[in-house]
């Protein structure tokens, strides 16, 4: 059953310097994402990935088309949708005088839920940083805290917008494991990424976008066989990321 579905989503913006002229950031996007999937949206900068997510999340108005989450219309019942989803954005601002445990309690109260901050921080491996303020966290720790903040109301669907951008290999792989663990618990996860290894490792299925349109959909393996069945050369060894992890270890050190 599709827990997230869109039909012919369009988002247009005024063309700079051209009166009564528009360009489409998203043009006719249709998706059907199954409950329990990790679904990825790939594409170059400006392809429409983030705009597509923001329309599904109810953060950006839909100009044409419709989106549903768990059978509920995003445009008609946006407040019900907010109860169903968790959103990790590319950038977040927090109250800088509160530590992360206090922030989790605050977010929980805003949703009317009774989340134990330490249990949630344990889930994202941040219990030792409970008294730290967001500005005192490393990049990887801040990303995991951002995800923890999106989980305070136990959402059915978690949206991640380029969650590992700027992270070192260790922090990236730790976050990948967190995503896998959340998904094993039954959570549907939708993410955007520029990282092809990330998409192949995490995602059950993918959509590839370019110039506002979806140009391919399928599992990573199916897309590879359809569009790149013959690699330019057969790898005979690992890569530099594997060297880095072999030399430094995979234990959490952030």
pLDDT value at 253 more than 50: no
Q: Is the pLDDT at 126 greater than 70, yes or no?
A: yes
Is it the case that residue 30 has pLDDT exceeding 90? yes
Strand 188-193 and strand 38-42: the pairing is: parallel
Average pLDDT over residues 14-25: 89
- How many angstroms separate the CA atoms of 220 and 13, rounded? 32
- Dump pLDDT digits (tens) for 158-203: 999 999 988 889 889 999 999 999 999 999 999 999 888 999 999 9
Tell me which of 76-90, 215-229, 230-244 is least confident: 230-244
pTM (2 decimals)?
Answer: 0.89
CA-closest candidate to residue 133, choices 86, 169, 93? 93
pLDDT for the residue 19: 85
pLDDT of residue 95: 80
For residue 242, the model assigns a pLDDT of: 66
| Ranges of each domain in the chain | 2-229
What does the block give as tokens for 130? 């409970």
- When the pLDDT of each residue in the chain is averaged and rounded to a whole number, the result is 90
d(CA 247, CA 173): 15
| pLDDT at residue 56 tops 80 | yes
- End-to-end C-alpha distance for the chain, whole angstroms: 39
Do the Cβ atoms of 11 and 25 come closer than 8 Å? yes
Asked if pLDDT for residue 48 goes beyond 70, the answer is yes
The CATH architecture annotation of domain 2-229 reads: 3-Layer(aba) Sandwich (3.40)
Between the alpha carbon of residue 23 and those of residues 10, 55, 57, the distances in Å are 10, 17, 22
């Amino acid at each position: 059953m599709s827990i997230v579905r869109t039909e012919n989503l369009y988002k247009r913006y005024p063309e700079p310097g051209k009166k009564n002229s528009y360009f489409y950031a998203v043009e006719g996007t249709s998706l059907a994402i199954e409950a329990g999937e990790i679904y990825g949206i790939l594409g170059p900068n400006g392809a429409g990935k983030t705009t597509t997510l923001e329309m599904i999340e109810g953060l950006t108005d839909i100009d044409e088309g419709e989106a549903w989450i768990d059978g509920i219309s995003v445009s008609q019942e946006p407040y019900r949708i907010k109860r169903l989803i968790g959103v990790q954005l590319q950038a977040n601002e927090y109250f800088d005088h509160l530590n992360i445990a206090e922030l989790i309690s605050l977010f929980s109260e805003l949703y009317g839920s009774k989340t134990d901050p330490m249990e949630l921080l344990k889930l994202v491996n941040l219990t030792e940083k409970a008294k730290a303020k967001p500005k005192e966290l490393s990049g990887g720790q801040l990303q995991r805290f951002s995800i923890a903040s999106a989980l305070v109301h136990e959402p059915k669907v978690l949206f991640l917008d380029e969650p590992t951008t700027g992270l070192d290999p260790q922090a990236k792989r730790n976050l990948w494991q967190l995503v896998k663990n959340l998904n094993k618990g039954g959570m549907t996860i939708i993410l955007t990424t520029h990282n092809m290894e990330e998409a192949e490792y995490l995602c059950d299925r993918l959509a590839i976008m370019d110039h506002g349109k979806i140009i391919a959909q399928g599992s990573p393996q199916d897309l590879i066989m359809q569009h790149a069945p013959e690699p330019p050369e057969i790898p005979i060894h690992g890569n530099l990321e594997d060297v880095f992890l072999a030399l430094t270890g995979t234990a959490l050190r952030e």
